[in-house]
Amino acid sequence: MSNRTLRVNELLQRELSDILRKHYQSESVAVTITEIRVAPDLRDARVFVSVIGDEDELERKLRWLRAHSKEFRHELGRRIVLKYMPRFEYVADHSTEQGARILKVLDEIEPKLTDEKPAGESA
């Protein structure tokens, strides 16, 4: 991934998060834009979204984001000068859930290791 693409990803993420926070505060209170990945031709982008709540809430927020996608693109076009403003595809980001699950498993393993005595010790 080129340096320009990385900068565009970060800029779009920052600006889209700002738009949601300022203009759609009540609807987007449980929504976090965790990452944006723009295609090399800058015409398409995947927006990874994390939502506080259950799966139904996640689906509701994704539908809401898709319904307002044109408004987001229009506002981003006013804020950012790019030759092409990418079309957004909103995707659920489950990385925080996976990270929490891994930490839980590690916490379960740790007490078992401290209870066992090293092989060289005798009672």
Which pTM value belongs to this model?
Answer: 0.77
Q: Which fold has domain 3-115?
A: GMP Synthetase; Chain A, domain 3 (3.30.300)
Alpha-carbon gap, residue 106 to 61, rounded angstroms: 31
Radius of gyration of the chain (CA): 21
Identify the pLDDT of residue 118.
60
121: phi then psi, degrees, rounded to nearest 5: -85, 145
Q: Digits of tens for pLDDT over the chain (123 positions)?
A: 788 889 999 999 999 999 999 998 888 888 889 999 999 998 999 999 998 888 888 899 999 999 999 999 999 999 999 888 999 999 998 877 777 788 888 888 877 767 665 655 554
Identify the pLDDT of residue 103.
81
Taken in order 18, 23, 26, 31, the sign of the CA dihedral is negative
* Per-domain boundaries in the chain: 3-115
